[in-house]
A and B are shown apart, each in its own frame.
Chain A
Amino acid sequence: MRWTRRWVLLAGGGGLATLAIPRLPGAAATEVIEMRGTPRGERVWFAPLGLAVAPGTTLHFINKDAGNSHTSTAYHPDLYDRPHRIPAGAAPWDSGFLMPGESFEVKLEQPGVYDYYCLPHEMAGMVGRIVVGRPDGAGWEEAGGDAGALPAAALAALPPVEEILAATRIDVERSR
């Protein structure tokens, strides 16, 4: 049994479509990120894994995995003493355990790179990266933190910022 991993760039995905639609002043954008898993739990992941959004976008996390519970938890010293991997001015979030069908929302204002993980599945590489705004925008902050403190599976799963910006949305597909 050999599993390979390849990035699937969904150029026409929901993220791009959302950004392309002219928004009314004050209208809030919402992006959905699903927590998913295979029926027997061999694999678990966030869908999408990487996402670029405009400042002020609300992220709606929902557990679509019938046989497991998941969290969306920002990498931050205030949460379980983990590395700081969100912009300095941004507040960390922790959804708590979401049972199947449950959801959680967080609004991201501060431009920069946000890395987050699922508490029980970080070891399995269940992490995600959200890029808010663009590197040339005002107040942009690059991702920081001690990468060495992350599990290898988590580090390997995080897509490069440039790829997220280029594709807007990155989904991962692992096939045998």
Chain B
Amino acid sequence: MPGKLIFREPFCSRRIQVGAVETIDLHAVEFIMIKQIIAIASLLAGTAALAQDAGDLGEAPPEAPYAAVSDLVELPEFLPGLGQLYVDPETLPAGPFLGYDRDGRLSATIYMPPIGDLEGGTSFDDLALGAESVSSVDIYYNAGHPGVEQPHVHVVLYHDPEAKGRLAK
């Protein structure tokens, strides 16, 4: 089934840059992660300025242009650790992705900046939030998945102290 999904626009828009990613070693990943932490700290500092109406996004499904990731690419509806994901395709690959628990409650906002893009000098600024209140943040490496194939970072903003538990399974 050549051409199936993986090459569907706009997900392949940065594919050319992937070549550079192959050469990174994990020290580079570590270095990038430090840069990510700095980046996310400045992101959080901007939270208040980005305050937006969470009323539209608090319950799944969020309004267009958000679309279910499982409808855009071949991924399960519920991803353990991230929940049911929605994204505005125009904002790929960084997002924000909105993560809803099994009851449809917005629980996390997730960003997925590719490491190769960051290394190449691309920054992801003024990204939107699913909700204003953030109780904790997890940052970790991901080798890639349909939708964001390049090795990238998951920056997960949990919107309440129990959110991580609800998204786990």
- Taking Cβ atoms with an 8 Å cutoff, the residues of A that contact B are 1-3, 37, 39-44, 66-69, 79-80, 94, 96-97, 99-100, 119-121, 123-124, 126, 151-153
Contacts and interface: CB of A to CB of B under 8 A. Distances in A.
Contacts of B18: 123, 151
B17 to A, nearest CB: 11
B146 A69 contact: yes
A89 to B, nearest CB: 21
Given A67-B76, A120-B145, A151-B22, A96 B150 contact: no
A121 B81 contact: no
Contacts of A66: 76, 80
B151 A123 contact: yes
A116 B48 CA distance: 49
Given A39-B81, A42-B142, A44-B143, A99 B74 contact: yes
Nearest to A41: B142
A97 B143 contact: no
B143 A69 contact: no
A88 to B, nearest CB: 20
A174 to B, nearest CB: 10
Interface size for chain B: under 10, 10 to 19, 20 to 34, or 35 or more residues?
20 to 34
B36 to A, nearest CB: 13
A119 B22 contact: no
Interface in B49-96: 74-76, 79-82
Contacts of B149: 120-121, 123
Contacts of B19: 151
Interface of B: 1-2, 4-6, 18-19, 21-23, 26-27, 29-30, 74-76, 79-82, 140-146, 149-151, 154
Given A43-B143, A44-B143, A153-B22, A80 B2 contact: yes
A39 to B, nearest CB: 6
Contacts of B150: 123
A57 B58 CA distance: 52
Contacts of A121: 143-145, 149
A40 B140 contact: yes
B23 A94 contact: no
A40 B146 contact: no
B148 to A, nearest CB: 9
A126 B144 CA distance: 11
Contact of A1 (B2, B26, B154): B26
A67 B2 contact: no
